């Protein structure tokens, strides 16, 4: 399907509310995360159908390591199982998968699966799905600054060459346009250290729906709201 006029090219999503979804149903928190995985799959398929070019999903932040070890282990187990079971769908549906964040710091089982799925889908030409894992906006900027400083030190760059466009090329999202629309579920009004460079001019859409209840119709509603807004970029 061709992208509708005025629809966002890049959508970023803070997938919030899995734990509360489970708690309200008297279920273990891991069941909320399982339901959240299904919601993520539905939103990816909807974004692909709506002609969105890039979708960035906030899956696990650098701060999430503070959670109980059992929950963290279960989360990464879910991610590994998902890639094993559903990775082939990315190939069949022409979706390109990318993992962004401090991926090298992850354990080998999950890191190798993420990297393998990236390789399998690198030539796909449809929707780009960025999964933010072990991701933080401030760490991303620090990593970019370190890489930039190393290139200046080595003589590859001059300090006077540095501008916003060049700096953006050192971020995890290099090569992609900045998000046009940021969606946050569960009714919280904060960005939680997510894409803090890239969302400088993103439209923000907040819904009280918990992430496991967010689906195709909800994504369409967010896109419709985005299309009604007047983006002036400070002008």
Digit-coded pLDDT (tens) for 206-230: 999 999 999 999 999 999 999 998 8
At residue 95, the pLDDT reads 96
Q: What is the pLDDT of residue 231?
A: 75
Look at residues 145, 154, 139, 125 and name the one whose alpha carbon lies nearest to residue 51: 125
- Pick the catalytic residue from 64, 143, 151, 213: 64
Mean local confidence (pLDDT), 112-141: 97
Q: Residue 64 catalytic?
A: yes
CA nearest 8: which of 48, 51, 60, 61?
A: 51
- pLDDT of 1 higher than 50: no
- The CA-CA-CA angle for residues 96, 101, 106, to 5°, reads 100
Q: Which of 108, 3, 112 is nearest to 55 (CA)?
A: 3
Q: Is 94 a catalytic residue?
A: no
Helices 216-228 and 29-49, packing angle to 10 deg = 60
CATH, domain 10-135+178-228, list 3.40.50.1860, 3.40.50.2300, 3.40.1180.10, 1.10.1370.30: 3.40.1180.10
pLDDT confidence bin for 53, thresholds 50/70/90: very high
- What predicted TM-score, i.e. pTM, was given to this entire model? 0.94
């Amino acid at each position: 399907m061709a992208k509708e006029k005025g629809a966002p090219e890049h959508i970023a999503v803070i997938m919030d509310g899995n734990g509360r979804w489970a708690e309200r149903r008297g279920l273990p928190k891991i069941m909320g995360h399982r339901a959240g995985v299904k919601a993520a799959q539905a939103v990816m398929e909807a974004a692909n159908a709506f002609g969105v070019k890039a979708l960035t999903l906030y899956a696990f932040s650098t701060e999430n390591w503070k959670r109980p070890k059992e929950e963290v282990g279960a989360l990464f187990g879910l991610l590994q199982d998902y890639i094993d079971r559903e990775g082939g769908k990315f190939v069949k549906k022409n979706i390109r998968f990318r993992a962004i964040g401090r991926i090298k710091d992850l354990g080998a089982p999950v890191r190798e699966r993420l990297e393998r799925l990236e390789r399998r889908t690198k030539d796909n030409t449809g929707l780009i799905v960025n999964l933010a894992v072990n991701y933080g906006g401030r760490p991303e900027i620090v990593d970019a600054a370190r890489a930039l400083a190393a290139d200046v030190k080595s003589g590859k760059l001059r300090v006077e060459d540095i501008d916003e466009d060049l700096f953006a090329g050192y971020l995890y999202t290099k090569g992609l346009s900045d998000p046009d629309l940021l969606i946050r579920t569960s009714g919280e009004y904060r960005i939680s250290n997510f894409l803090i460079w890239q969302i400088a001019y993103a439209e923000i859409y907040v819904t009280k729906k918990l992430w496991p209840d967010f689906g195709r119709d909800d994504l369409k509603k967010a896109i419709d709201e985005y299309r009604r807004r007047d983006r002036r970029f400070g002008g």
